Amino acid sequence: MAMTRTISRRDLLASIKKIAATSALGAMPTGRLFAAPEDYSGRFFITVQAEGAWDTASFCDPKANVAGERIINSWAQSAEIQTAGNLSYAPVANNAAFFQKHYPKMLVINGVDSQTNSHTTGVLHNWSGRNSAGFPSLTALFAATHAPNLPLSYLNYGGYAETARLIRYTRLNDVRALLTVLTPNVLPWDRASTFQNPEMLETIKAHQQARLNRLRNNPQNIPRTQYTMDAYYSARENAAGLEDFAAVIPADNDLQDNRFLQQMQITALAFKAGVACSADVVLGGFDTHADHDAEQMPRLAELTAGLDYLWDYAEEQGIADRLTVLVASDFARTPWYNSSEGKDHWSVGSAIVMEKNAPWGNRVVQATDATQNALKVSPSTLALSDSGTVIYPKHIHNAMRQYLGISGGALDDAFPLNNAEQFGFFS
Amino acid sequence: MTLLALAFSGCGAGDSEPSGNSGQNASQVASDNSSASSMQSVNSSVALASSSSQPLPSTSAPVNSSAASQSVSNSSDANASANQGASSSATVHVSSQASSEPASLSALELYKTTVEQPVSQSICVTCHRVGGVSGQTRLVFSVGSNLGDSNFAELQSYVLNEQAGGDLLLSKVKGGSGHQGGAVLPGSSENYLALAAVVQKLQGGSASSAQQKVEFFENIGLQSYSQTLRRASLLLAGRLPTDDELNSVVDEASFKAALKNVMTGEGFHQFLVRAANDRLLTDAFNQGLNLDVLEPNASFYPTLANLFVEANQNDARGDFYNDFYAKLRHGVAHAPLELIAYVVENDLPYTEILTADYTLANPQLAQVYNAELSVFSSADYREFKPVQNRGQIVHDSQFQSEFIEGMGSIIASFGHYVPYPHAGVLNEPAFLNRYPSTDTNRNRARARWAYFHFLGVDIEKSAARTSDPEALADTNNPTMNNPNCTVCHIAMDPVAGAFQNYGDAGLYRDAWGGRDSLPRPYKQESGLYVQSDTWYRDMRSPGFNGLLAPSNSNSLQWLAQHIIDDPRFAQAAVKFWWPAVMAEELLEAPEALEDANYQDQLAAFDAQNSFVTTLADDFRSGINGSAAYNVKDLLVELLASPWFRASRAEASLAQSQVAQLTGIGAGRLLTPEELEAKTTALIGYAWGETDAPWRLDNRYTNLINRYLIYYGGMDSVGITSRARELNTLMANVALTQAVSVACGAVVMDINRAPAPAIFTEVDRYDTPVSFEAELVSITATDSATATVAQMAVNLPAGEQQVSLQFANPHWDGDLEEGTNLIITQLRLLDAAGSPVLTLDGEDFPQQAGFVVSQNASGNNTGNRFYDTAAGTHDGYILWGGGLNLPVNVASQGQYTLEVSAWRRNVPGYPVNAVMAINALAPYSNTLGEQRIRQQLVHLHQRFLGQVLATDSPEIDASLNLLVDTWQWRQANMPQRAYDWESEGCDIPVPNWWQQDWTNELADSSYMQGSWISVLIYLMTDYHYLHE
């Protein structure tokens, strides 16, 4: 009802511009402020973290039993190691279906020495590249390097998620609740209406962001205040694309109920919507100190089912060609059973890298002996070599950084992997 | 307050003893900050200056030098003081400068006189000796007297032959470079300085670490007492401080007393439980983790087993699980948390969390424990009382039971109930079950977490392991014999042994026979087991710190006693509570010397570790003369410290200082629980709060029950750490909360009887242009008896606007008619009562500048009123909206606006009008604007903790937003708090939309809608989400 002067939409936009112009946008003291999000057309990167230490001897580094030694695998008493392309696998769980279908995408590196039997240190070592605290996850580095301004650039579902304050991670759990927060102004009970008129809310946001910018430019800010203000500022700056994400969330009936598959699904959708570029997907339950065969095999089956689903769903969403996946664990399990039919911790394990149409697919770097001890490998030829080196997580990370375009940048320099030979895993 | 350099034995095998010297002779390094207005040297304490009206408070910051400076911020905004007109400023120096020793002394002489006994013999040899945990490292001392020469040679060799040996040594003693013994010498301690001086001499004065000076809190200002009290109240009690509490603070003592006084009530209880769970994670059992230790199908708790069988017999299995067992599970999961809360709230010594010979149980758990139920006031599962567990049995020769699938365990007979040997948290079933064991783990996880939570030692950090295949393949009991393994196990395994009486899930002596908890394979196949053994013979014996537990029946109680006697227990307590207060984990010592920011990390760690160590000393002996081990006192010291109160840089900070101060002071993101408590404290309810019969607590809120993980919370199972900074999705959650509750909060408060709690400085008719505005009730029903309403108003000279609004137009569907307001006359009287303007209603449209509102169809909402009976126009009728009339005021002064009006239609339904005189445009400094500014000041203070002046830039900015939204709503929206055609409002009243809210939602002045926008602005503000 018009009583005083009326405000047109044009006036409103002018008002917003005025607010922005007076808020000293250019005088940012510290922190990362990113330009408005652009369409991300680069690669997507997922780590799949098998929490608790998987049994590689029953998976991608299959071990037959050795005469005169303790039994490594009970399945090996009656079954043979199988192959898919150049890869070997254990004939248990759903390995056959997985390896036969996906071996062209797979680089298997057997003989990665985590140098620990502590879960905490193993997780740290495998996902940050060193066994000292302080380094970001590879996923955080990837997101911070390639697309830090995406709304949810780095997704994490509970695994190793150190960011070293390079970037913030986002945790998603209840997909059915996601829609509301992706579109905060929309009424939950009537999605055709909003709490605030959208134009009005834009005015509020503009005022709010201008105020936050004023706060950020206070030279008296202490480091913590500055950092959290900058984080909030960039979080809001990057929110624009979230409605694109909301647009691809499927109906409830089409959402996966399995927690692991749900992680895969929502990650693929976030990639498709252009709101994220990296994710840590986790599956627990691999720490099978007792009743190993009964406990470990279902987990391996769930792991491969999840990976299979990921690739199929990524294909369906049209993003499979841009996807790189690293699968690993804390370390591995002993090449023998303990008195409880379990397997304890063993520091020598494996890593798997997956990518569609990769020239390095269908490749295995075999750096363990028959009883799963680490062997030295030539970094250049990847062949066993006494003058070579044992493969450590830092080598995986060094190569992945190179391959993923992280190496050579400022972030790579800030978190150097000292003395890490460059392995030609991808050459 | 004394400065003690405590031995910190990460290896766990040696004694941890105070160093030979306290800090009483520590060198005192004065501040080099020449700008400090006053300088004091306070031995072993820190002086924090505040205004001259406040005495110098002391904290327990463990520095050997101090300086006090006074600084008053010139900021009128974010950091302005809220009381005492002052904001504290700290200039705290933590110096690691090497002490100046006589140049004539050689390195050897210096070593022998200042290092050999107090450092090498008292601390280092605990591990760095032949046969010690570090006996195979590159630094091994000889133990005994008169060994200074040989030990010096060992030290010299290390310093000169290792790469960067001096730096490495000095780094390790402060806990850096992966020192498995942790921090043994705070960088400010005399012993450290002595060692640094020796290193410096050995290196010809080149020891860079020794020369580095760290000025940790230099030029860092602290929050005022009132600001700190506000934060503490919100965080620890979930409420704002009262005026009385704020007014009670006049000095450091009253400040600390006020801090302690907020530590009461349900809010504080929830803080304690939440903080404890953040460490122990036992709430996991309420979040889906299996509770194996009290499983209904099992037969160790007969009462539980019988209840389950009974439920199955009555076909009530679902009810059993959804009600009784869910409550029981809550009782088990929260028992250790409630025990800790009980100890703290009752001012019991914190040591009791490990020595309590009781547990805390809710009625359901107490029933299963066969405890006395009369101590409970109700069956409420949230009520916890101290009881003893007398509900478990063992499977001995008297035990007979039959398990029937689908029915449970039918127990025919059993022996006695176990007199459960309570050892506080250590044998709480939830603690034991949260860290379950296996046949090969053998309680090591429990030992690991006992070390972590109650001794502050992370054993796993020392678990880096060799890649030597031979060592890896070592099958000769490597945990006993292989140095690669013993580094951890020598400390861990005896403690694991102390848990010997508890099985994999945490049941007491659950092996068949009831005499031990040893697994059957070990007993039957190892060839090691001997009748009556309770522990493995191929492991170290139960014990702690080189001592053996004297009895296998109470080894955990014995362990508890030795843990609380260990100096590290008090340090662990500080570490336990630190994250809950600071919203950051304590810094870990950096490990990689080659990291670019290694020195900054080490300096920050050292400063923090020194603070922790000294505070722990005080905690152990009694803080400020109070009782020993009082957690409330500990929390007060944390809250009063610069670690919590640091809030502003009073000068440009050096880059190294910026790096060191990361994560310290103000600016902590509120957790979902804290944010919800804050919102509830401010607006009276939580986002989406509703009854929830499907939940045990019958309460559902959006932030806790739906968006907890999205907003950085944890579930204690898969997600066990909290997000500490906002990401985009979290920002959206905050925005969702704000837009969801703002309308309801404004409408509820503005209409609150007898008076609003939030909007205390304005009424709903004050606008940015109003000189005065009032609501009047029009009761007359004809022109002859028209209601005459008057409103006094002070006006400036010049053209103004008279505004008359129909406040509550109402359409009655049954009568098919709407209420009408007919204005017959308007007069403006001067101070003497003489009319300066008289206008009859029917003449309004003829006045230049007259404006009447229009409805959505573009039609006027009023017109001249035609009196059919009289056959003439008599007044101006409004059936909605309102009108404006210009008026020229000749001179500034007091006036009276008088309106004569009557009503018709819908008898009995009230007709109200808002009369106002307005300026032509905003920013005219009207009384309405002044009141709005006052209200904005009030809102900034309440919601953001900012104390601002009415003319401050931030109040200007907030007013700008309000004016923008107010004008926009006038241009585009109906006169309602929200436009129900296109907007939504979630009012926290059940079925409110089925009731008549016309009057409450009426917004003739467009101010409810505008305040809603302002509330969204405030509830998404940085300072709303951070404290």
CB B1020 within 8 A of CB B738: yes
CB A300 within 8 A of CB A58: yes
Judged by DSSP in three states, B877 sits in strand
Neighbour tally for B624: CB within 10 Å: 13
Q: A32, A167, A202, A204: which to substitute to probe chain B, counting the most B Cβ within 10 Å?
A: A204
Give the separation between CA B520 and CA B512, rounded to whole angstroms.
9
Contact residues, A window 380-409, toward B, CB-based 8 Å cutoff? 390, 392
Residue B726 and residue A131: Cβ atoms within 8 Å?
Answer: no
Residue B460 and residue A338: Cβ atoms within 8 Å?
Answer: no
In what side-by-side order are the strands of the sheet with B798-806?
B770-778, B911-918, B798-806, B882-889, B851-852
Please determine, for residue B545, whether its predicted confidence score (pLDDT) is greater than 50: yes
Angle between helices B165-173 and B148-161 (to 10 degrees): 110
Q: Is B862 in the A-facing interface, judged by CB distances under 8 Å? A: no
CB B163 within 8 A of CB B138: no
Q: What is the pLDDT of residue A26?
A: 28
Tokens 């792991």, residue? A303
Candidate from A115, A228, A418 with C-beta closest to B465? A115
Please determine, for residue B735, whether its predicted confidence score (pLDDT) is greater than 60: yes
**Which of residues B44 and B703 earns the better pLDDT score?**
B703
Q: Is A368 in the B-facing interface, judged by CB distances under 8 Å? A: no
Residue B760: HSE in the Cβ half-sphere, 13 Å Cα cutoff: 7
**Burial tier of B858 (Cβ tally within 10 Å: 0-12, 13-18, 19+):** exposed
Task: Encode pLDDT of B903-912 as tens digits.
Answer: 999 999 999 9
Residue A168 and residue B725: Cβ atoms within 8 Å?
Answer: yes
Report the share of chain B in percent with pLDDT over 90: 68
Please determine, for residue B58, whether its predicted confidence score (pLDDT) is greater than 70: no
Tokens 């504290």, residue? B88
CB B1019 within 8 A of CB B734: yes
Average per-residue pLDDT in chain B?
A: 86
Q: What is the pLDDT of residue B20?
A: 30
Q: What is the pLDDT of residue B43?
A: 29
How many residues are there in chain B? 1027
Structure tokens given for A422: 């460059």
- List Cβ neighbours of A33 (8 Å cut-off, separation of 6 or more): A230, A233, A234, A237
Task: Give the pLDDT means over successive 10-residue stretches in chain A (427 positions).
Answer: 38 41 30 46 97 97 94 97 98 97 98 90 93 91 94 92 91 83 91 92 96 96 96 91 88 90 96 96 93 96 98 97 97 92 94 98 97 95 96 96 92 84 93
User: B718 pLDDT band (50/70/90 cuts)?
Assistant: confident
**Which of residues B89 and B1013 earns the better pLDDT score?**
B1013
Complex prediction ipTM: 0.85
CB A216 within 8 A of CB B966: no
- List Cβ neighbours of A294 (8 Å cut-off, separation of 6 or more): none
Q: What is the pLDDT of residue A335?
A: 96
**Among residues B720, A164, A141, which one has the least CA distance to residue A154?**
A141
Residue A289 and residue B440: Cβ atoms within 8 Å?
Answer: yes
Please determine, for residue B467, whether its predicted confidence score (pLDDT) is greater than 90: no
Q: How many CB pairs under 8 A join A and B?
A: 321
Please determine, for residue B487, whether its predicted confidence score (pLDDT) is greater than 80: no
**Stretch among B686-695, B782-791, B792-801, B973-982 having the lowest mean pLDDT:** B973-982
Whether residue B419 has a cis bond before it, omega within 30° of 0: no
Residue A195 and residue B739: Cβ atoms within 8 Å?
Answer: yes
Structure tokens given for B676: 């919800």
Contacts 24+ apart (CB under 8 A), B328-331: B328/B294, B328/B304, B328/B362, B328/B364, B328/B365, B328/B368, B329/B285, B329/B286, B329/B291, B329/B294, B330/B286, B330/B362, B330/B364, B330/B381, B330/B382, B330/B696, B331/B361, B331/B362, B331/B364, B331/B365, B331/B366, B331/B381, B331/B384
Tokens 């950092």, residue? A227
**Among residues A82, A83, A90, A84, which one has the least CA distance to residue A104?**
A84
Collect all residues of chain A within an 8 Å Cβ-Cβ radius of residue B978: 195
CB B443 within 8 A of CB B497: yes
**Stretch among A115-124, B205-214, B956-965 having the lowest mean pLDDT:** B205-214
CB B399 within 8 A of CB B413: yes
Give the separation between CA B686 and CA B699, rounded to whole angstroms.
10
The residue of chain A with its CA nearest to that of B921 is A4
Give the separation between CA B489 and CA B480, rounded to whole angstroms.
7
Structure tokens given for B725: 């900074």
Please determine, for residue B34, whether its predicted confidence score (pLDDT) is greater than 50: no
Structure tokens given for A221: 């800010």
Contact residues, A window 235-274, toward B, CB-based 8 Å cutoff? 235-236, 238-239, 242
Candidate from A180, A184, A204 with C-beta closest to B1013? A204
**Among residues B976, B502, B556, which one has the least CA distance to residue B750?**
B976
The residue of chain A with its CA nearest to that of B590 is A133
pTM of the predicted model as reported, rounded to 2 decimal places? 0.84
- List Cβ neighbours of B489 (8 Å cut-off, separation of 6 or more): B444, B479, B480, B540
Neighbour tally for B144: CB within 10 Å: 11
The residue of chain A with its CA nearest to that of B75 is A220
Collect all residues of chain B within an 8 Å Cβ-Cβ radius of residue A218: 75, 78
Residue A227 and residue B1022: Cβ atoms within 8 Å?
Answer: no
Collect all residues of chain A within an 8 Å Cβ-Cβ radius of residue B662: 165, 223-224, 227
Angle between helices B631-640 and B225-232 (to 10 degrees): 130
Angle between helices B631-640 and B326-345 (to 10 degrees): 70
Q: Taking CA B994 as the corner, what is the angle to CA B988 and CA B997, rounded to the nearest 5 degrees?
A: 70
**Among residues B597, B608, B606, B585, which one has the least CA distance to residue B668?**
B585
The end-to-end CA distance of chain A, in Å, is 70
The residue of chain A with its CA nearest to that of B727 is A235
Instruction: State how far residue B843 is from chain A, nearest Cα, in angstroms.
Output: 19
Please determine, for residue B38, whether its predicted confidence score (pLDDT) is greater than 60: no
Task: Encode pLDDT of B862-898 as tens digits.
Answer: 999 999 989 999 999 999 999 999 999 999 999 999 9
